[in-house]
Structure 1
Amino acid sequence: MINLTKQFKNKEITLTALFMGKDLNVSIYGGDLPHIGAIALGIPRPSLEDKNKISSSVSLLTITGHKEDVIVQRLAKVLSKNLNSTVVVSCGIHYDNITLEDIEAINLLISDLTDELISKLS
């Protein structure tokens, strides 16, 4: 199991990754109220443009009113393509009184966590 954590506004945002055989289960959570807001399933497949390259198809489930679908879709696509394996990503991050600037900063933080995870898995 891999646990990666970063601080944002004095609260932790955690990425946990667990291999289940060749497949990968990733959870991202934190803030004032960690929860499940969205889930994505990434499945590798041959690229439609070049059959010698790997691409990914992603399916989403999103809790009504939650916005984490953008995060999980991006991560499931990137991870399943890079690892050439099935990947599930769940995410639930809540901060009270969040601003647009905060959301942008959290997205950058999650991109950093994702890069760190890919580096550890390579």
Structure 2
Amino acid sequence: MIRAGEGRYSVMLHAYRIGNDRLIVITGGEEAHIGSATLIEERGHMQTLSKNGHKDYLVSEKMANLIYDTIGSDLLVICGIHIDNASKEEIDVLVDNAQMCVNIFLKENNDN
């Protein structure tokens, strides 16, 4: 597990290797949940499912593209980050922390 941020701004990334594929789960904030799932098989070939009213897809799609560009393996990114009544600034902090988690993951897995 990789973690960035503290308290209600904490974001965690769990990574799993499933054969040649990857499953990445990014959760955090006050309540972990499943808000979106983005499957990427090749650059430009991406599918996303998202719960109604959730904007987690903004993170799952961005992170899926970044991870795919580096590791080149098919992957599924599940994302669920929540803070009640979050301000734009709080959302920015959470997205930055998700990005930090992904950066650490990519650095640790740069040989793949």
Q: Common fold, TM-score beyond 0.5? A: yes
Corresponding position: 1:114 with 2:99: no
1:19 aligns to what? 17
Output the amino acid matched with 2:24.
V
CA distance in 2, matches of 1:95, 1:104: 12
CA contact (8 A) 2:39 2:77 kept: yes
CA distance in 1, matches of 2:98, 2:28: 11
CA distance in 1, matches of 2:34, 2:87: 20
- Identity, in percent, stands at 24
1:83 aligns to what? 71
Q: How does the TM-score come out when normalised to structure 2? A: 0.90
TM-superposed deviation, 1:97: 2.6
TM-superposed deviation, 1:81: 2.3
Query: 3-state SS of the aligned residue for 2:33?
Result: coil
CA contact (8 A) 2:29 2:94 kept: no
Query: 3-state SS of the aligned residue for 1:96?
Result: coil
Corresponding position: 1:95 with 2:95: no
Query: 3-state SS of the aligned residue for 2:5?
Result: strand
TM-superposed deviation, 1:87: 0.5
Q: How does the TM-score come out when normalised to structure 1? A: 0.83
Output the amino acid matched with 1:26.
I
Query: 3-state SS of the aligned residue for 2:47?
Result: strand
TM-superposed deviation, 1:33: 1.4
Q: Which has the higher strand share?
A: 1
Q: In the comparison of the two structures, how many residue pairs are matched?
A: 109
CA contact (8 A) 1:56 1:81 kept: no
Runs of 4+ residues over 6 Å off in structure 1: none
Query: 3-state SS of the aligned residue for 1:17?
Result: strand
- Rg larger for: 1
Q: With CA pairs under 8 Å and 6+ residues apart, which has the higher RCO, 1 or 2?
A: 2
CA distance in 2, matches of 1:14, 1:40: 17
Question: Structure 2 unaligned runs (5+)?
Answer: none
